[in-house]
Structure 1
Amino acid sequence: MKIAQAVGPADVEAGDVAEHNLTQFEYLALNSTLNIADGHARQGLTAGHARIIDDLPAMFRSAAAAPVEVLEERAYRTYFRMLGQHSHPAGGTRVLSCYSSSVAMEIFSRALATRADAVALIHPTFDNIPDLLSGCGLKLFPVEEDALHQGDLDENLLRSVGCVFITTPNNPTGRVLSEARLARLAEECREHDIVLALDTSFRGFDTRAHYDHYAVLEASGSRWCVIEDTGKLWPTLDLKVGWLVSGETVGLPIAKIYSDILLGVSPLVLEMVHRFAEDGIAGGLGELHRFIAGNRQLVRDRVAGLPGVHIADPDSRASVERLHLGHRTGLEVWSALRERNVFALPCTKFHWANPGEGEHSMRIALARSRAPLATAADAFRSVLAGV
């Protein structure tokens, strides 16, 4: 999560909502037991997770005694194996460990800005991506999801940018870039000598995104970079790693910018990621998929039959669910929910190039324990029935 300006609930009102970003909305929800706003993992521990947490003292001593390079390599190798990314780079500076995917995104943005002045960016997507890119002086051109998935990108667009940036699975829609489409997109970027960047932070939730992206990227001959994230999968109280992975010929000063910002991440967190990924390989990932699917069905059951309300992304498997609210605006519903101490996320800011497109939608986080999610969903139904 990016660092939000400290704001209180009274600071976000209809008149000044344009001044606030999605993370600031999420910040307001952190102290509520009915927080269904941010996409971080806040559900209870599974039995497998609990065993790992019980082993923290031994893990601390083990991490303190081991070389960081060994811990890093073991963590990312296990994590990538869990998600089918068998052709990932190894060693050197091609896999860099960051505190979070947002830190990885900041490093990438700064590095890209030394070689390019414009980016073609998927639309919609979480607003810290356009914020970080534009904050480094890069001009942004939207790439609509339908256009991205249906065929080749516009030649004039590709000639005018230094990078194409895609989130897959996308947040908030959950749409996954297919293997064939990724291969063609990488080919297009190679033909125009521009960087292809992927944010795969929600990859773990959708087996359709578990084909070997790195095999496709390496075979394409393109210049590429991938941002990976462990923070959405496991309820580790935001102890997580973001990885910044780059192709050998990416041509950006990523390692230098990385060294300007951080030295590395906690060895203990690396050991935790390794252990949680091992649990995922042993069946924990499938258990997570079933859990999220059950919570998705709970939300859909609660809002079923409400006039004008429909599921915006019926095929999504990500740990978030987007609702179209009919004539209601996201801010109206957010304000009514806040009175019940329930916090979801209005979708206006996801549509960074055209905020009006998200005015009548909200996003609900599904990585929550079932009882509070059910309470929040009941409040959601009550509010929607009355607004």
Structure 2
Amino acid sequence: MNRIQPTVSAENLTQFETLALDSSMNLADGHARQQLTSAQSKIVAELPDMWAEAIMRPVSEIEQEAAESFFGMLGQHSHPFAAGRTLSCYSSSLAMEILARSLVTTSDAIALLHPTFDNIPDILAGVGLKLIPVEEEQAHDDDLPAELLEQVGCVFITTPNNPTGRVMTEARLRRLAEQCAEYNVVLALDTSFRGFDTAAQFDHYAVLEASGCRWVVIEDTGKLWPTLELKIGWLARSANVDLPIEKIHSDILLGTSPLILLMVKRFSDDGADGGLAELHRTIAEHRALVRAELAGVPDISFVDEQARVSVERLHVGSRMGMDVWSAVRSQNLYVLPCQKFHWARPNEGERMLRLALSRNPSTLLAGAEVLRSALLDTPERHR
């Protein structure tokens, strides 16, 4: 019997993702939902022992070990935890909220990458900041205009970007940091998808520190491992950032769970010992599986040919993305329409869908088969 589909009233991408949570073909959210590897399953089996360890050991000691393992796994050896400038949060979104509330105490405008995941502009605008879009091509290829830097208190970049997967190179980051230092503008980075792309694993903190700019970096463990939303968001900052980040962090939370921190350490150690490379192979295989299943469908294309992150954008040609979304939803498949990634000009994303790849192969194959059929059946719509 077909399920009765509730009326869609999603106002942001997370609400679209929430619609998919109970579906057996949820290809909507970018959280990790693939099977545990054998090594990760052993870590999960040791959770009772970690619980006992978390009770006995100082939380600060556990937190430092988790940070050193996680940042070290990703090549971020100059991270400032030992200097007392890295705070742990329940999630990267909470870290973003703390940053936004800090920025609005000294600034009324921010330059933000476009497109990017819409909870970033929503959180920033929600505290009263004016958002000025910085197109991805400009952010990666050219100096930012002086007139832009003179009117903002922060430049915010997502690298690797969600949904495009584009990574800011070391040379480009260095130049952008130099510009921000020149204009006394905070440079904020969201690196939540860093773990998927080795091109994003040069030591960002060394580059930022050498520039002398005021900076903040948000890191995230939640996209990498299928840990049932048990995760840590890290909020790191420069010594000269001159924002009330620590105070606002303390307004919101006391600290994070030492049990989750121990789990993050163990997963990070496994990642450094080959687990991260295994994840990269898995995502590459899943991307190839989806592309192969959709091969030959007329008037579609994969937008981000070089992407290594755990999501894939599909341009549906002359079709409307919401038409395809509605068609596959009727078959219990959920993907993500892309209008809201283009937070300044939603029409730019209206013919694209985003598919999550951190799933089991059988789920991806079943979803791709439904999507293929829907694409072949969805009529063209011309403007």
8 Å CA contact 2:88–2:256 kept in 1: the answer is yes
Deviations 1:271-317 (A, max 9, x none): 00000000001100000000000000001111112111000000000
* 2:3 corresponds to 1:10: no
| TM-score after normalising by structure 1 | 0.96
Supply the distance in 1 between the matched residues of 2:293 and 2:126 (Cα, whole angstroms). Answer: 40
* 2:378 corresponds to 1:382: no
Alignment of 1:1-150 (within 5 A): 9-12=5-8, 20-91=11-82, 93-150=84-141
Once the two structures are TM-superposed, the CA of residue 93 in structure 1 deviates from its matched residue by 4.1
8 Å CA contact 1:80–1:86 kept in 2: the answer is yes
Structure 2 equivalent of residue 364 of structure 1: 355
| TM-score after normalising by structure 2 | 0.97
1:248 alignment partner, SS class: coil
2:367 alignment partner, SS class: helix
Structure 2: gaps spanning 5 or more residues: 379-383
8 Å CA contact 2:32–2:225 kept in 1: the answer is yes
* 2:302 corresponds to 1:311: yes
1:73 alignment partner, SS class: helix
* 2:185 corresponds to 1:194: yes
The one-letter amino acid paired with 1:11 is T
Deviations 1:252-280 (A, max 9, x none): 00000000000111110000000000000
8 Å CA contact 1:164–1:194 kept in 2: the answer is yes
Alignment of 1:212-227 (within 5 A): 212-227=203-218
8 Å CA contact 1:93–1:255 kept in 2: the answer is no
1:11 alignment partner, SS class: coil
The one-letter amino acid paired with 1:206 is D
Supply the distance in 2 between the matched residues of 1:204 and 1:361 (Cα, whole angstroms). Answer: 25
Structure 2 equivalent of residue 228 of structure 1: 219
2:262 alignment partner, SS class: helix
8 Å CA contact 1:280–1:286 kept in 2: the answer is yes
1:189 alignment partner, SS class: helix
Supply the distance in 2 between the matched residues of 1:328 and 1:226 (Cα, whole angstroms). Answer: 38
1:160 alignment partner, SS class: coil
Deviations 1:319-364 (A, max 9, x none): 0000000011111111101111000000000000000000000000
Supply the distance in 2 between the matched residues of 1:253 and 1:11 (Cα, whole angstroms). Answer: 42
Deviations 1:235-266 (A, max 9, x none): 00010000000000001000000000001111
Once the two structures are TM-superposed, the CA of residue 30 in structure 1 deviates from its matched residue by 0.2
1:10 alignment partner, SS class: coil
8 Å CA contact 2:5–2:330 kept in 1: the answer is no
Structure 2 equivalent of residue 206 of structure 1: 197
Structure 2 equivalent of residue 246 of structure 1: 237
The aligned length equals 375
8 Å CA contact 1:117–1:139 kept in 2: the answer is yes
Of 264, 287, 293, which aligns to 1:302? 293
Of 242, 248, 262, which aligns to 2:253? 262
Deviations 1:106-138 (A, max 9, x none): 000000000110000000000000000000100
Supply the distance in 2 between the matched residues of 1:93 and 1:134 (Cα, whole angstroms). Answer: 29
Supply the distance in 2 between the matched residues of 1:69 and 1:371 (Cα, whole angstroms). Answer: 41
8 Å CA contact 1:9–1:28 kept in 2: the answer is no
The one-letter amino acid paired with 1:355 is P
Once the two structures are TM-superposed, the CA of residue 149 in structure 1 deviates from its matched residue by 1.0
* 2:283 corresponds to 1:287: no
The one-letter amino acid paired with 1:370 is P
2:6 alignment partner, SS class: helix
Structure 1: gaps spanning 5 or more residues: 1-7
* 2:160 corresponds to 1:164: no
Tell me: CA distance 1:139–1:57, structure 2 relative to 1, closer, same or farther (3 Å): same
Supply the distance in 1 between the matched residues of 2:168 and 2:375 (Cα, whole angstroms). Answer: 33
8 Å CA contact 1:97–1:241 kept in 2: the answer is yes
- For the aligned residue pairs, the C-alpha RMSD in angstroms reads 1.0
Aligned-pair identity (%)? 61
The one-letter amino acid paired with 2:323 is E
